[in-house]
């Protein structure tokens, strides 16, 4: 199956108000509210095959039930951080009541299982042989999480959406990382409804997008690394005679995906003091490349005064990016706090959510 989900970080000063709002919406007519403890163990090889492939394999105790879950990147061209492959398999408890064993065969003949084989560097045929033999191909536990989840399931614009407040810890190699984040998962309905609800909660509680998964953050904790290496963002290529709607969305996604990953790091207030000039420079350049792509694509709308470019692209998005870039153009890397505030700002969050929704609208 394909998971469609957004994740946001919560300012500490706004957490109490968010908790109260979640309780309110969860108790509204047609909604539901649940609380659950989630204890997970994540697995990878000594060479970190899954981390390099941005995949995650875990065994998680969800109340009284164990579930083995595999997550991997979507293989669809133009996919964004909204979409991930996911496969869940309920697990029979271990005979001694402890943690059940990891079995790769639970993911055989699924798209996520194919992604796992690719990440491990084995053919599907070899993967099936090893999995059926009960072999784990070098996978071992690398870290664990202990989360208290408060979840409200609500209807919004005809869509069923789960709002999950996760509070807890990641533990690895004697280190502990505190987690507090809001996940919004689309269970049914349109991506547009999910984006609209996310924009509402982001504005109401000062949330900022974070595309780093628990697996990614746990992996860095296990290695004792706080920051990922900053990589340059590639320039999108738009045909001079005008791209098709699909090509335009794919080009924007090609900039948006690494920009959101880097922006998640820049926005994190716990990492501000560790940000390097390369992190800030590449994020700044990525914003500029995104502005150029949007401005070029929206030029007919600006000239014609319609306000809407090809495939529903809004001319206002390029203008919003220009306003975001203006103060950063004169800022130096020594003022990392200014960059972090810009990354977390309401303008940035509303724009990035709108662009995620627009790119995804070609996939609905």
* pLDDT value, residue 314: 83
* 25 vs 164: CA distance, rounded Å: 12
Q: Is the pLDDT of residue 29 over 90?
A: yes
pLDDT band at 309 (very low <50, low <70, confident <90, very high): low
From the list 305, 359, 329, 327, the residue with the least C-alpha distance to 195 is 359
209 & 313 share domain: no
253 & 172 share domain: no
The last residue of one of the domains, among 220, 236, 254, is: 220
pLDDT band at 304 (very low <50, low <70, confident <90, very high): very low
Please tell me the least confidently modeled range out of 114-118, 195-199, 312-316. Answer: 312-316
Angle in degrees, CA 220, 3, 199, rounded to 5 = 85
Q: Is the pLDDT of residue 348 over 80?
A: yes
Q: Determine the 3-state secondary structure of 135 from DSSP.
A: coil
Residue 63, both tokens = 């109340």
pLDDT band at 301 (very low <50, low <70, confident <90, very high): very low
From the list 250, 355, 280, the residue with the least C-alpha distance to 312 is 355
β-strand partners of 6: 184
β-strand partners of 125: none
Decide if 51 contacts 216 (C-beta within 8 A). yes
pLDDT band at 17 (very low <50, low <70, confident <90, very high): very high
231 phi/psi in degrees, rounded to 5: -115, 145
Q: DSSP character for 330?
A: T
289 & 253 share domain: yes
68 & 206 share domain: yes
Please tell me the least confidently modeled range out of 8-22, 203-217, 294-308. Answer: 294-308
From the list 104, 91, 100, 102, the residue with the least C-alpha distance to 131 is 104
Q: Is the pLDDT of residue 169 over 70?
A: yes
Q: Is the pLDDT of residue 94 over 50?
A: yes
* 352 vs 286: CA distance, rounded Å: 13
Residue 191, domain CATH: 2.40.320.10
186 & 320 share domain: no
Please tell me the least confidently modeled range out of 5-9, 122-126, 212-216, 309-313. Answer: 309-313
Angle in degrees, CA 191, 197, 203, rounded to 5 = 135
β-strands 83-91, 208-209: how paired?
unpaired
341 & 200 share domain: no
For 271-277, what is the mean pLDDT? 94
239 & 170 share domain: no
Please tell me the least confidently modeled range out of 14-18, 23-27, 44-48, 235-239. Answer: 235-239
pLDDT band at 258 (very low <50, low <70, confident <90, very high): very high
* pLDDT value, residue 305: 46
pLDDT band at 312 (very low <50, low <70, confident <90, very high): confident
262 & 118 share domain: no
The last residue of one of the domains, among 200, 220, 240, is: 220
* pLDDT value, residue 193: 97
71 & 158 share domain: yes
269 & 337 share domain: yes
For 306-318, what is the mean pLDDT? 70
For 99-108, what is the mean pLDDT? 94
Query: Range of 319's domain?
Result: 227-361
Please report the sign of the dihedral spanned by the C-alpha atoms of residue 307, residue 308, residue 310, residue 316: positive
200 & 231 share domain: no
Q: Is the pLDDT of residue 97 over 90?
A: no
* DSSP, residue by residue, 204-270: HHT-EE----HHHHHHHHHHT--SPPP-PPPPP---TT---HHHHHHHHHHHHHHHHHHHHHHH-TT
pTM of the full structure: 0.92
210 & 352 share domain: no
The last residue of one of the domains, among 157, 188, 220, is: 220
Q: DSSP character for 27?
A: T
pLDDT band at 226 (very low <50, low <70, confident <90, very high): confident
Residue 335, both tokens = 């003022």
* pLDDT value, residue 298: 65
For 24-33, what is the mean pLDDT? 95
Residues 6+ apart with CB under 8 A from 223: none
% of the chain residues with pLDDT over 70: 92
Average per-residue pLDDT in the chain? 91
Residue 39, both tokens = 């204890």
Q: In the chain, how many domains are there? A: 2
For 81-105, what is the mean pLDDT? 86
CA distances (Å), origin 216, targets 119, 145, 264, 311, 322: 15, 12, 12, 34, 31
Decide if 299 contacts 291 (C-beta within 8 A). no
Q: Is the pLDDT of residue 303 over 60?
A: no
For 127-150, what is the mean pLDDT? 97
pLDDT: which is higher, 86 or 306:
86
């Amino acid at each position: 199956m394909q998971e469609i989900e957004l994740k946001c970080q919560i300012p500490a000063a706004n957490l109490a108000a968010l908790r109260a709002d979640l309780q309110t919406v969860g108790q509204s007519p047609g909604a539901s509210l649940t609380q659950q403890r989630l204890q997970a163990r994540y697995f990878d090889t000594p060479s970190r095959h899954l981390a390099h492939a941005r995949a995650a394999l875990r065994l998680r105790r969800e109340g009284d039930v164990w579930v083995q879950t595999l997550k991997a990147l979507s293989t669809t061209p133009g996919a964004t951080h909204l979409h991930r492959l996911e496969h869940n398999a309920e697990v029979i408890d271990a005979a001694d009541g402890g943690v059940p064993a990891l079995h790769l065969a639970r993911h055989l003949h699924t798209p996520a299982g194919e992604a796992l084989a690719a990440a491990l560097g084995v053919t599907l045929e070899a993967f099936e042989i090893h999995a059926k033999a009960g072999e784990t191909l070098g996978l071992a536990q690398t870290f664990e999480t202990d989360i208290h989840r408060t979840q409200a399931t609500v209807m919004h614009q005809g869509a069923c959406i789960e709002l999950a407040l996760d509070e807890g810890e990641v533990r690895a190699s004697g280190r502990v990382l505190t987690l507090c984040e809001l996940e919004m998962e689309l269970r049914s309905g349109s991506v547009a409804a999910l984006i609209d609800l996310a924009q509402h909660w982001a504005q109401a509680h000062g949330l900022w997008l974070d595309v780093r998964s628990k697996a990614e953050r746990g992996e860095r904790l296990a290695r004792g690394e706080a920051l990922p290496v900053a990589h340059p963002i590639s320039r999108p290529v738009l045909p001079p005679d005008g791209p098709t709607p699909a090509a335009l969305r794919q080009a924007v996604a090609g900039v948006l995906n690494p920009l959101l990953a880097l922006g998640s790091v820049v926005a994190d207030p716990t990492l501000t003091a560790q940000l390097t000039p390369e992190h800030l420079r590449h994020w700044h350049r990525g914003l500029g490349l995104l502005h150029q792509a949007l401005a070029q694509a929206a030029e007919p709308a600006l000239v014609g005064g319609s306000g809407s470019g090809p495939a529903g692209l809004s001319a206002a998005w390029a203008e919003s990016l220009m306003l975001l870039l203006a103060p950063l153009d004169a800022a130096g890397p020594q003022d990392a706090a200014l960059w972090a505030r810009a990354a977390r700002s309401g303008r940035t969050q509303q724009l990035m959510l709108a662009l995620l929704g627009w790119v995804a609208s070609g996939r609905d």
